Structure 1
């Protein structure tokens, strides 16, 4: 099977998901950071548990990307000491709605942004950090490019002085 066809099937499988509830061993986790080599550090829904590593299965590699703050459904691996689970599903907003209605959604992950957790940062600081409405992620400037600010008043005055 070619790469394009494989990617098409993987994405179709993710989009045509039937929103099944998690099984008894599966766990909902949130990505803290990427550790490279298809490993991701995640936080568990219990506040007392420590972060652990999850691996991305081969079918998702180079087809689906996971970033910090994404929510995952994982299957635990019994023989793993460092890598303790494997990703089985990347959760979307529809999953969150269905799991919340069913009552299986962890209370720790009810807030979307990591700064809304109980780490001493208040919600007003998060709102100021995210902008006026907080929901408009598309308007965030690209920080990898130099910011050029033009002041039109100064250029008009310099033209008149010449």
Structure 2
């Protein structure tokens, strides 16, 4: 199987499947990535440990601080106590809340809209999951709130009016003419 085909199947699996954790699995939040395909996570009870990323996710799926994961425990690990089995996105979290499988320790972060480290999380996932049930698809308009926002880039505001740029251009030309006259 080619690398592109493998990537396509892995991404399709992660984005399309809605998984509920088993008794052994648990939901955790990513606190950081020390490197070497390891991620520091925190459980809903506040326990911190490292998890490893399986080979199928490497170079195919990216995990950032504040994301939620479903992990399988590893018995032989001292520092690395689990392996990532599933990555949770907004729709997955809404589904888990609707099913009642979401841990109470993380519900506080979702209601506030941010995690403890300040990163944006799911916006009122409980309210939006209830709204999804009540609204019809025909009436709903496209919403850009689900689009990925790169927090590593500076957001520039651009003005659409040409008048502002024309005024600035004429001022610059006048200054140049004055300097040339001197």
Q: TM-score w.r.t. structure 1 length?
A: 0.71
The 1:35–1:116 alpha-carbon spacing in structure 2 relative to 1, beyond 3 Å, is closer
1:66 is matched with 63
The 1:140–1:83 alpha-carbon spacing in structure 2 relative to 1, beyond 3 Å, is closer
Q: After TM superposition, where is structure 1 displaced by more than 6 Å over at least 4 residues in a row?
A: 151-155
Q: Secondary structure, in 3 states, of the residue corresponding to 1:114?
A: coil
Matched, 1:15 2:26: no
1:5 is matched with 5
Equivalent residue pairs, number: 140
CA apart distance, 1:140: 5.7
Higher relative contact order (CA 8 A, sep 6+): 1
1:129 is matched with none
The 1:54–1:5 alpha-carbon spacing in structure 2 relative to 1, beyond 3 Å, is same
Q: Secondary structure, in 3 states, of the residue corresponding to 1:58?
A: coil
Q: CA RMSD in A?
A: 3.2
Return 5+ residue gaps in structure 1 as ranges.
Answer: 118-134
Provide the C-alpha distance between the structure 1 equivalents of 2:2 and 2:40, rounded to a whole number of angstroms. Answer: 30
Greater share of residues in helix: 2
Decide which moves more: 5-14 or 25-34.
Answer: 5-14
Return 5+ residue gaps in structure 2 as ranges.
Answer: 119-144, 157-163
What are the superposed Cα offsets for residues 67-100 of structure 1, whole Å, 9 maximum, x if unpaired?
A: 1111100001111010000000001212111211
**Which is greater in Rg?**
2
CA apart distance, 1:52: 0.7
CA apart distance, 1:137: 6.7
Matched, 1:85 2:82: yes
Provide the C-alpha distance between the structure 2 equivalents of 1:82 and 1:107, rounded to a whole number of angstroms. Answer: 25
2:44 is matched with 45
